[in-house]
């Protein structure tokens, strides 16, 4: 496929050629994936030579060197384990009561004045790439060191570097913001599903241009690859033996949180930056619930807890209609979904699990569950009405997953709470199960069909 063909065609290929596309999997809002032995696994990745512990500290130091760094709030919310989701046909089989669980929301709804957590990972990834390009040591340099170096160098250059990324919304906005902060232009590619209101927000960043392609997220990734000649230059380097560190070409630096077989190191770096979310917690919870798209944020959270002796279990929450990671975990094989799904959880609408995140999620994640569109609307409403928290659909997905799975609707096994209580009891701890829900998106516009619009009118 040539670059000229891309904008008008629909996707024909998957970026991750090793993924399983069989249909031997049925998505379910009541079936909980479990691998609680995962807490005995130690984090490792073959896709970077950097030491994780050192990167955790270096990224935190970098975050603190950015203007406006502040830890995000952790808010205790009321939680009633018998308050069911929109379904009335299910029954609780949990022997436990409300006093057995404490629920907290980590409000990743405003970071560096952006309405999501993305700057933590994306900013750190960009910082590492550009430090390498401009000859700085990213373990000691500050944001100001890099900015000064760039402005001294680009003042004499004919055309400055452009930061390039594709996005379902928030990653692209963070790339565009970081580019603007560094005085660089950005080009952000969006797939067909991204709302015009989100495109307008990305375009509002100084120096940013947004281009929409008529394909899904995987398709947009492929478009970026062709635009900056990334894979082509990799294969040229392999032929000539003349390889230098490859972050794209044609004047572009490609910053993606999605890994393919060819593009592996940057998404691991971006995942490293998310460790700051976990280190801000006052103590390790029993469970952390993480919204999941193609897996970069879950990679970062899992790495943090599986790099230590922590007993925190990681649970992933995904849309029922865009379920590539739940499918991969259930089939024990990296998988794609059909790639045609629609969901109000736009930021999570990714058809293929990231190549570099997959081994980490397979080995380090304890639970995974799916939530429907109305589950999420109900969760957004409850957070607003009962806890005064304003979150968007991706921000409500962790709470929706907890409501769906806490008491084991339909599985007859007592659900998540019983599982976690039993695990604690085995360690001699009969205290309440402490759960942290990541709310990764601030309240925003979204549109639903009639049924949902009715619920939404309460917002």
Q: Where does this chain bind ligand PLP (CB under 6 A)?
A: 116, 168-171, 257, 291-298, 347-348, 350, 394, 440-441
Least Cβ distance, residue 57 to ligand PLP (angstroms): 22
- Tell me how many degrees the CA angle 87-324-453 measures, rounded to the nearest 5: 40
Beta strands 33-34 and 367-371 are antiparallel
Least Cβ distance, residue 265 to ligand PLP (angstroms): 16
* Nearest residue (CB) to ligand PLP, 259 versus 285: 259
Least Cβ distance, residue 121 to ligand PLP (angstroms): 8
* Nearest residue (CB) to ligand PLP, 190 versus 403: 190
Whole-angstrom Cα distance, residue 43 to residue 72?
25
Least Cβ distance, residue 376 to ligand PLP (angstroms): 12
Least Cβ distance, residue 179 to ligand PLP (angstroms): 18
Least Cβ distance, residue 116 to ligand PLP (angstroms): 5
Whole-angstrom Cα distance, residue 167 to residue 328?
22
User: Which position's Cβ is nearest ligand PLP?
Assistant: 347
Within 10 A of 459 (CB to CB), how many other CB atoms are there? 12
Bridge partners (DSSP) of residue 368 are: 33, 316
| Contact between residue 340 and residue 219 where contact means Cβ atoms under 8 Å apart | no
Helix (H, G, I), strand (E, B) or coil at 193: coil
Q: Is the dihedral of CA 390, 190, 351, 48 positive or negative?
A: negative
User: 303: which 2 tokens?
Assistant: 């790495």
Whole-angstrom Cα distance, residue 411 to residue 367?
14
Least Cβ distance, residue 41 to ligand PLP (angstroms): 19
Instruction: Provide the Cα torsion 159, 201, 437, 25; round to 10°.
Output: -80
* Nearest residue (CB) to ligand PLP, 306 versus 424: 306
Least Cβ distance, residue 330 to ligand PLP (angstroms): 17
DSSP letters for 217-284: HHHHHHHHHHHTTHHHHHHHHHHHT-----S--TTEEE--SS--SS--HHHHHHHHHTHHHHHTSSS-
User: 236: which 2 tokens?
Assistant: 């040229």
Whole-angstrom Cα distance, residue 26 to residue 19?
17
Least Cβ distance, residue 188 to ligand PLP (angstroms): 13
Exposure string of 232-262, with b = 16+ CB inside 10 Å and e = fewer, is ebeeeeeeeeeeeebbbeeebbbbbbbbbee
């Amino acid at each position: 496929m040539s670059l000229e063909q891309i904008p008008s065609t629909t996707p024909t290929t998957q970026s991750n050629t090793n993924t399983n596309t069989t249909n031997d999997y049925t998505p379910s809002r009541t079936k909980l994936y479990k691998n609680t032995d995962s807490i005995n696994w130690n984090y490792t990745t073959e896709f970077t030579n950097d030491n994780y512990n050192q990167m955790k500290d270096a990224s935190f130091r970098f975050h603190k060197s950015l203007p406006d760094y502040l830890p995000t709030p952790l808010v205790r919310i009321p939680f009633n384990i018998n308050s069911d989701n929109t379904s009335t046909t299910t029954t609780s089989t949990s022997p436990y009561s409300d006093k057995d669980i404490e629920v907290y929301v980590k409000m990743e709804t405003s970071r560096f004045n952006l309405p999501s957590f993305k700057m933590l990972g994306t900013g750190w990834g960009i910082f590492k790439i550009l430090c390498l390009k401009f000859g700085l040591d990213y373990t000691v340099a500050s944001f100001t060191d890099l900015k000064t170096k760039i402005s001294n160098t680009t003042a004499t250059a004919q055309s400055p570097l452009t930061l390039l990324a594709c996005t379902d919304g928030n990653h692209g906005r963070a790339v565009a913001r970081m580019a603007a902060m560094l005085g660089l232009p950005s080009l952000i590619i969006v797939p067909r599903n991204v709302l015009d209101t989100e495109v307008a927000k990305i375009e509002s960043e100084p120096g940013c241009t947004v281009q929409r392609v008529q394909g899904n997220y995987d398709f947009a990734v492929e478009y970026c690859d062709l635009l900056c000649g990334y894979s082509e230059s990799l294969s040229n380097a392999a032929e000539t033996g003349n390889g230098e560190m490859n972050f794209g070409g044609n004047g572009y630096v490609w910053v993606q949180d999605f890994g393919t077989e060819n593009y592996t190191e940057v998404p691991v770096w971006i995942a490293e930056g998310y460790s700051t979310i976990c280190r801000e917690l006052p103590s390790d919870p029993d469970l952390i619930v993480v919204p999941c798209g193609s897996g970069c944020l879950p990679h970062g959270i899992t790495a943090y807890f599986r790099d230590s002796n922590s007993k925190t279990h990681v649970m992933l929450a995904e849309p029922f209609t865009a379920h590539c990671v739940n499918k991969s975990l259930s089939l024990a094989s990296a998988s794609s979904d059909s790639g045609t799904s629609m969901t109000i959880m736009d930021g999570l609408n990714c058809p293929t699990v990231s190549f570099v995140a997959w081994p980490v999620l397979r080995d380090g994640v304890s639970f995974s569950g799916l939530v429907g569109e109305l589950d999420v609307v109900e969760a957004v409403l409850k957070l607003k009405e009962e806890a005064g928290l304003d979150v968007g659909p991706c921000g409500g997905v962790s709470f929706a997953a907890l409501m769906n799975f806490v008491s084991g609707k339909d599985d007859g096994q007592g659900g998540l709470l019983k599982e976690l209580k039993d695990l604690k009891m085995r360690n001699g701890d009969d205290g309440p199960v402490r759960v942290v829900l990541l709310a990764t998106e601030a309240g925003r516009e979204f549109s639903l069909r009639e049924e949902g619009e009715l619920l939404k009118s309460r917002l």
